[in-house]
Amino acid sequence: MAMALPSSLFSFAARVIGLRQTNGTRWLHGAKGTLFSVRGAGETALQSDQQLSNFEDEDLSTPDIEVDDTLEHKDFFGVRKLCTPSLLFQHKVHFGHKATSLDPRMRQFVYGIRSNHVIFDLDISNFHLQEALNIAAHVALRDGIILFVARLPHCANLIEQTAKDCGEYAHVRQWKMGCLTDISKYQKMECRLPDLVILPSTVSEFGSEHPVVAEAAKLNIPTIGIVDSNCNPNMITYPVPGNDDTLTTIQLYCSLFKEAILRGKAERANRLKLLEEELSKDQETRLSKLKSMSLKLNK
Amino acid sequence: MENCMLRDDKFMDHGFMKREPKNTLAREHFENGKMNSISLLLRSNLRFSSIHNKSVVAYSSQAAKENVTIKKKKPISRAMRAYIDRVKQFEENLIVESKEYSDGKRFLANIMGEDPAHFTPKDVDKSVEYLLPSGLFQKLARPEMAPPEETIEKAKFDINGRPFHFLFYTGASHLYETQFETVKRINRAEKLLEQIHRKGHTPEKENKMDLVTSEWQDISEMEKTINESIRDDHFEQTMQALERLAQHPMSGHFKDFLMNYRKATTVNMTEMVFPEIQQDPDGRYSVQHTTKRKTAVATVTIRSPGEGKFVINGQPGLLYFSDVGAREHVLFPYQVTGLMEKVDTEVTVEGGGFNGQSGAIRYATSLCLAALVDEQGRVKLQLAGLLRRDPRVKERKKFGKAGARRGYTWLKR
């Protein structure tokens, strides 16, 4: 279908529709009533409601917050207002690599070529970045584990600091194969996998694709990745076309994602507080009922 | 300047570059005129605004907030249940194990005929060694009894399965945290230095940390400090970073941090035993001490105050030694303490060669002088390495060799 359309129509909107149909996004934007799920903490989208009921266990049930209402809102956390094309331009997001290294799969995000360097279309980048920020905030709201992965020696400290500041996790060191796919062997214990991987740069130290991209794809972990003009965006759930090695650019990404995650967490804390209040109220009423009953019995 | 964002005609021809601004702001500019919008974007005097300074619209709309529903969520995933089970099991295990340990300890104390209330873990080790003697060479293979807190690994996650450490997924969290903290401090030190340079000053010597009185921990000590096993290459990386911070002109600001990974070179002086000072009938103080070096034995008597008289085996001055190096050896402690012509010395030395004899005299003299000087003088002596017995001795000759290591000359058959 897309082939039959004139190339000018193979544009932004068409790509957005295409993106929405990828595996990672289907269960988020898909049929109403589907839970936005967080691996480990919640359920995978593949599990139907019937399967869910099998897991019910009265003893293990813990009160948790209800967050489904947030999905109906287009920009619940207001993170889309955080970034604008002009902001991205100030932080040099539009600079790509040399035109000779342009990956054909990145052509859709390119505005043009100047001095033999690729220039990204910042309207497109901005849209994808907004989408990514929204997802990050939603995952944070659902208590998902967010892992920052990159192989940028000059930004390693910054990325680790960002992860620490927003109470999430970072891996900017040498990546061992099977760090996620074989985690029980690697960590010598069973442990929870991350629910979202954020890649400020998808390039590994050898110039090839970072191995975490393949590992996360195998495990169906959604990824947010800044893809430069020489990268492959196809394996990444939420690709954001943009410059991936300038310090100011990485600083921008880090501060934006930090803000989004902190907003998600603040909302979570808010709702947990409300839940606690409600639970204590419930208990009070139950206690008062018990009291009245015992009084009646004594009489 | 304005042309730099214009598309190449080449791409126009190919047709994959047509675009329309989707953003409303950009569209407004688009309607006003494309060139205008581009020039707006490309204004050279743009200020790099921090995103935090931007006014941000309240993020959850009122309508959405009113809809907040709170429910008790029942279903729990398999993975989640596994975590909760494990945490519960761990806690139960710990209670059982600690009870077993305290019972066993009491039992041991009764067998050994001691008071169970004052039976320490050290006593437990002793009694286990006594009751279950083992001829196994490896200490790890011998029977032992330890409290469960030491043997059982602590949980690394909370009840939701979230790891405690922010670098958990790297597999060497504490080591990488050390590197992370070090690099953070290096960056801060650079900023401090820049401030000083900007004022036109140079950093004072006091800003640099004193690296003489302490040295770096080795790999096994570092493992204990961060409570994690370290690979050799990781240790080298970390040491490089730490060394860079320590050598920085502003390293004095991060002394507390660096001292976590360093150990003091000076032993606690209060623990050291020095020879006793005696008072002679003529009113002078005298110290006598006997030490060894290689096979030489030297007895040194120092009298204070004196005129710098020096007698070795009845020979005045340093004429006893024909070797200049040996003479310098003997005089070194006096140079360090500055007592060269303020005390009288009498030496009896026997055995060994001139090197061993001079070494033995040096060690004995240093100890005697340390007894006479104050704390500061002792530190000087210690830093010069004079208050330590040199344990090196001649290596024995091996059969099949000309000496300890040297082979016989190879003859062609």
Task: Decide if A175 is inside a domain.
Answer: yes
Q: What is the mean pLDDT of residues B73-88?
A: 67
Would the CB atoms of A190 and B86 count as touching at under 8 Å?
Answer: yes
Residue A238: phi and psi, rounded to 5, are -125, 80
The reported pLDDT for the residue numbered A14 is 35
Q: How far is A111 from chain B (nearest CA, A)?
A: 6
B163 touches chain A (CB under 8 A): yes
Of A44-53, B87-96, B151-160, which range is least confident?
A: A44-53
Task: Decide if A282 is inside a domain.
Answer: no
Residues across chain A: 299
Would the CB atoms of B18 and A275 count as touching at under 8 Å?
Answer: no
Residues of A within 8 A of B27 (CB-CB) are none
B4 touches chain A (CB under 8 A): yes
ipTM summary value: 0.77
Cα–Cα distances in angstroms (integers) from residue A278 to residues A65, A285, B72, in the given order: 11, 11, 11
Measure the CA–CA gap between B97 and B120, rounded to whole angstroms.
Answer: 17
Would the CB atoms of B169 and A171 count as touching at under 8 Å?
Answer: yes
- Selected for mutation to probe chain A from B3, B9, B46, B70 (highest A CB count within 10 Å) is B70
Residues A209-242: pLDDT tens digits?
999 999 999 999 999 999 999 999 999 999 999 9
The reported pLDDT for the residue numbered B214 is 86
Helix and strand counts by DSSP (H, E) for chain B? 14, 9
Residues of B within 8 A of A81 (CB-CB) are 56-57
Task: Decide if A100 is inside a domain.
Answer: yes
- Selected for mutation to probe chain B from A73, A86, A270 (highest B CB count within 10 Å) is A86
Domain count within chain A = 1
Task: Decide if A253 is inside a domain.
Answer: yes
Measure the CA–CA gap between B228 and B230, rounded to whole angstroms.
Answer: 6
Task: Decide if A66 is inside a domain.
Answer: no
Residues B25-66: pLDDT tens digits?
444 444 444 434 333 333 333 333 333 333 333 334 443 444
Task: Decide if A293 is inside a domain.
Answer: no
How does DSSP classify residue A203?
B
User: Is pTM beyond 0.80 here?
Assistant: no
Task: Decide if A199 is inside a domain.
Answer: yes
Would the CB atoms of A192 and B11 count as touching at under 8 Å?
Answer: no
B67 touches chain A (CB under 8 A): yes
Residues B167-193: pLDDT tens digits?
999 999 999 999 999 999 999 999 999
Task: Decide if A104 is inside a domain.
Answer: yes
Domain hosting residue A113, numbered range: 78-266
B1 touches chain A (CB under 8 A): no
Q: How far is A292 from chain B (nearest CA, A)?
A: 26
Residues of B within 8 A of A60 (CB-CB) are 76, 81, 84
Residues of A within 8 A of B8 (CB-CB) are 112-114
Per-range mean pLDDT, top range of A59-68, B33-42, B257-266: B257-266
Residue B276: phi and psi, rounded to 5, are -75, 150
Measure the CA–CA gap between B107 and B116, rounded to whole angstroms.
Answer: 8
* Interface contacts (A, B; CB < 8 Å): 209
Q: State the CATH number of the domain containing residue A253.
A: 3.40.50.10490
- Alpha helices, DSSP H, located in A45-121: 49-54, 85-90
